[in-house]
């Protein structure tokens, strides 16, 4: 008899590509002979996968400015989702967590009242949004949960240091690739025309929400040295600011006379435009200062792009220097500029590394393989 699992996630397609993760997870489980139901919001489209049921009980929770009204809508969506799951015979409810709040507590308590198992995938082990994530609620919820999942050994190590270990332990289940969900635009000239990028420029891409932990200022400091040796370089910045002030970065651009070497799109990038940002680029740079798992890294490799990352453990678990990507010393703009100049001096090697990165993400991070691992983790708590 198939295990029945509910993936309950209110975020879905709201403001990010998180729904692709949900689709991949659902599809991998269904292909591994697990009965899956995905509960999410009404802005997320039904992927129409065989073996995956889909419901949107979280209605309009991101509309309007009232947090109280949004919270009421959320609770109503959770009640409908969890009751539906219970009466459908679901044994395990799988949630994705970025931080702990009263709504997470509500979901946990109701799931337990309904006598279903609770599994959490922890995206930010110590939340970037809530610095007090290691509090009484977090400790209690994690300890009482049935299974905790992290994306890599670094996140597991941090979790083990911060929180009590649940009865059935912590498993590592990697973040899968985005390949099944992407339209890869192979006409670079077309994409550059769309974004008004000259065809003779070498484009470095910084993509995603501009958070303080993502180190854009380090890349800008490095850029002043890079353009001296590579005056054709253009840094394309695509993504909106998040709890941050772009004027800090603009000051660095102005101070170092970098305006002609930067194209800034400080805004939300619609999904239909994302392919053109990646297609236009020659190298994606992730100068992060702190991270647990990078969706941008997985997205970049899935879009068949070479990557340059800081030497943070969650990134170097996937990217090996001069093998599946390139690595520089975190928060060191001299190391970054040296590495960039070296990469740009050998375009043949850049292409070789790009292909190796693509092969890695197609094999080790395939959703069917991840679905098998996830099924085995579920079985350990039944």
CA distance 185 to 190: 9
> Beta strands of 220-323 (E only): which ranges?
233-238, 262-265, 283-286, 307-310
pLDDT of residue 135: 79
Same domain for 263 and 346 = yes
The CATH number assigned to the domain holding 67 equals: 3.40.50.2000
Same domain for 152 and 190 = no
Q: What are the b/e assignments for 228-245, b being 16+ CB within 10 Å? A: eebeebbbbbbbebeebe
Same domain for 96 and 126 = yes
Same domain for 217 and 110 = no
Q: 151 Cβ partners below 8 Å, 6+ apart? A: 121, 123, 172, 173, 174, 175, 292, 293, 314
CA distance 45 to 37: 14
Q: What is the pLDDT of residues 296-349, one digit of tens each?
A: 999 999 999 999 999 999 999 999 999 999 999 999 999 999 999 999 999 999
Same domain for 86 and 212 = no
pLDDT of residue 127: 65
Same domain for 27 and 105 = yes
Same domain for 265 and 132 = no
pLDDT of residue 124: 86
Residue 70 is inside which H or E element, if any? helix 67-87
Same domain for 243 and 374 = no
* C-alpha dihedral sign at 246, 248, 253, 254: positive
Same domain for 328 and 223 = yes
* Paired tokens of 316: 């170097």
Same domain for 140 and 17 = yes
Same domain for 203 and 147 = no
Place of tokens 């899935």: 302
What is the tally of structural domains in the chain? 2
**CA triplet 108, 111, 113: central angle to 5 degrees?**
105
Global pTM reads: 0.88
Positions in the chain whose pLDDT score sits under 50: 132-134
Ordered DSSP codes for 181-223: G------HHHHHHHHT--TTSEEEEEES-B-GGG-HHHHHHHH
Place of tokens 């994606």: 284
Same domain for 257 and 272 = yes
Q: What is the pLDDT of residues 207-256, one digit of tens each?
A: 999 999 999 999 999 999 999 999 999 999 999 998 888 999 999 999 99
Q: Which domain holds residue 95?
A: 4-176+366-379
């Amino acid at each position: 008899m198939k295990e029945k699992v509910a993936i309950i996630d209110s975020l879905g397609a709201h403001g990010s590509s998180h729904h692709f993760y949900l689709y991949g997870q659902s599809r991998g489980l269904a292909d591994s002979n697990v009965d899956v139901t995905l509960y999410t919001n009404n802005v997320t489209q039904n992927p129409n996968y065989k073996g995956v049921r889909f419901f949107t009980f979280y209605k309009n929770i991101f509309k309007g400015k009232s947090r109280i009204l949004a919270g009421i809508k959320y609770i109503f969506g959770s009640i409908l989702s969890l009751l539906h799951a219970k009466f459908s015979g679901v044994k395990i409810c799988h949630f994705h967590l970025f931080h702990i709040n009263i709504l997470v507590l509500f979901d946990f308590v109701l799931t337990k009242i309904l006598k279903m198992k609770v599994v959490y995938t922890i995206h930010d082990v110590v939340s970037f949004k809530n610095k007090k994530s290691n509090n009484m609620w977090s400790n209690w919820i994690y300890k009482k949960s049935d299974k905790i999942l992290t994306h890599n050994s670094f996140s597991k190590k941090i979790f083990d240091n911060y929180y009590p270990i649940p009865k059935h332990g912590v498993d590592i289940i990697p973040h899968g690739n985005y390949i099944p969900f992407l339209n890869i635009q192979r006409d670079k000239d077309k994409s550059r025309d769309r974004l008004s990028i000259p065809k003779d420029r070498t484009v470095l891409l910084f993509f995603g929400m501009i958070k303080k932990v993502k180190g854009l200022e380090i890349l800008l400091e490095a850029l002043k040295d890079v353009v001296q040796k590579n005056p054709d370089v253009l840094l394309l910045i695509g993504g909106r600011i998040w709890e941050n002030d772009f004027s800090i970065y603009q000051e660095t651009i102005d101070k170092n006379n970098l305006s002609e070497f930067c194209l800034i799109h400080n805004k939300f990038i619609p999904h239909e435009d994302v392919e053109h940002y990646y297609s236009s680029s020659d190298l994606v740079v992730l100068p992060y200062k702190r991270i647990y798992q990078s969706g941008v890294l997985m997205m970049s490799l899935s879009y068949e792009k070479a990557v340059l990352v800081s030497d943070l453990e969650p990134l170097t678990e996937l990217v090996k220097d001069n093998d599946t990507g390139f690595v520089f010393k975190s928060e060191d703009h001299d190391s970054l500029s040296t590495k960039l100049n070296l990469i740009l001096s050998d375009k043949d090697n850049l292409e070789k590394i790009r292909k190796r990165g693509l092969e890695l993400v197609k094999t080790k991070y395939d959703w069917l393989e991840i679905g098998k691992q996830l099924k085995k983790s579920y079985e350990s708590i039944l």
